[in-house]
């Protein structure tokens, strides 16, 4: 979900065609740095099999692969995946060899159950009926003793005037995410709205990430 333009397509138009066009429009649309919450939450995890969902230009995927993870990177945009693969190969052939790039639409594709030691996704925003299917599928893909890390924008950003698409229904709450992860199956490590600064169109904002980090019980 883009967070730079309030004049964005309707939610249902955020498909492969939109994102292919977006990634083709510029050499790089994101910073090229891994997301801060990933670095904070995953730095001390032992490398294993990771699924990175909504991989975009591949910064998070490459960060994981450089630390020894075998990563499957999923994105709806073939253009974004091509750019990410080229960048990874140029920067670190050894890490790039640990990455599998796969084009997939999460509204019609689900990952295999229990297959990954880490499932991570940043800023996936769907209509409630869609996320009620997608998020449980991502949770189910975590292996016993594995980690789920989901990071998203918050409704608080809309109220604070941060430039976000004006669709409150596309934002989920901490309570909704906690309900996704019942205590008999999950240990909650982090569930919080975490502030950080970001600059959009030359203006600095304090934004809040909803960080959900949970460990699946054995």
pLDDT score of 19: 83
What is the rounded CA–CA span in Å between residue 82 and residue 75? 10
The per-residue pLDDT for 13 is 56
The count of other CB atoms within 10 Å of the CB of residue 170 is: 21
pLDDT of 34 higher than 50: yes
Q: Is the pLDDT of residue 7 over 60?
A: no
pLDDT at 29: 78
pLDDT classification of 149: cutoffs 50, 70, 90: very high
With cut-offs at 50, 70 and 90, classify the pLDDT of residue 41: very high
Of 87, 85, 83, 90, nearest in space to 71 by CA:
85
pLDDT of residue 1 exceeding 80:
no
Other Cβ atoms closer than 10 A to 19:
20
What pLDDT band is residue 12 in, cutting at 50, 70 and 90? low
Q: Which two tokens stand for residue 179?
A: 């309900």
Degrees to nearest 5, angle at CA 145 with 138 and 46: 95
**What are the C-alpha distances in Å from 141 to residues 18, 51, 98, 114?**
27, 9, 19, 4
Using 50, 70 and 90 to split pLDDT, how confident is the model at 50? very high
| Per-residue confidence (pLDDT) for residue 2, from 0 to 100 | 38
Look at residue 113 in the predicted model and tell me its pLDDT: 97
172 vs 168: CA distance, rounded Å: 9
Distance CA 33, CA 90 (A): 16
What is the pLDDT, as a whole number, of residue 83?
A: 95
8-12, 31-35, 95-99, 157-161: which has the highest mean pLDDT?
95-99
Q: What is the CA radius of gyration of the chain?
A: 16
Say what the pLDDT of residue 6 is.
39
Angle between helices 78-91 and 59-66 (to 10 degrees): 40
Distance, CA of 53 to CA of 74 (rounded, Å): 5
Average pLDDT of the chain?
91
pLDDT for res 5:
37
Say if CB 153 and CB 218 are below 8 A apart: no
pTM for the full predicted model: 0.90
Residue 215 tokens read as 């460990």
Q: pLDDT tens, 114-130?
A: 999 999 999 999 888 89
Question: How high is the pLDDT of residue 3?
Answer: 38
Q: What is the pLDDT of residues 60-90, one digit of tens each?
A: 999 999 999 999 999 999 999 999 999 999 9
């Amino acid at each position: 979900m883009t967070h730079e333009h309030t004049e964005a397509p309707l939610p249902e138009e955020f498909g492969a065609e939109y994102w292919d066009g977006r990634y083709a429009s510029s050499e790089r649309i994101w910073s090229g740095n891994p997301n801060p919450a990933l670095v904070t939450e995953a730095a001390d995890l032992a490398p294993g099999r990771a699924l990175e969902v909504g991989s975009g230009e591949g910064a998070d995927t490459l960060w994981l692969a450089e630390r020894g993870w075998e990563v499957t990177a999923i994105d709806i945009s073939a253009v974004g995946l091509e750019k990410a693969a080229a960048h990874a190969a140029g920067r670190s052939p050894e890490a790039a060899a640990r990455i599998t790039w796969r084009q997939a639409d999460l509204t019609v594709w689900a990952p295999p159950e229990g297959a990954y030691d880490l499932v991570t996704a940043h800023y996936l925003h769907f209509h409630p009926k869609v996320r009620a299917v997608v998020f449980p599928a991502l949770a189910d893909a975590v292996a016993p003793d594995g980690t789920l890390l989901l990071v998203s924008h918050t409704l608080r950003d809309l109220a604070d005037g941060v430039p976000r698409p004006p669709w409150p229904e596309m934002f989920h709450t901490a309570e909704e995410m906690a309900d996704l992860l019942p205590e008999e199956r999950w240990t909650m490590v982090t569930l919080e709205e975490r502030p950080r600064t970001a600059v959009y169109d030359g203006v600095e904002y304090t934004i809040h990430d909803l960080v959900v980090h949970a460990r699946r019980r054995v």
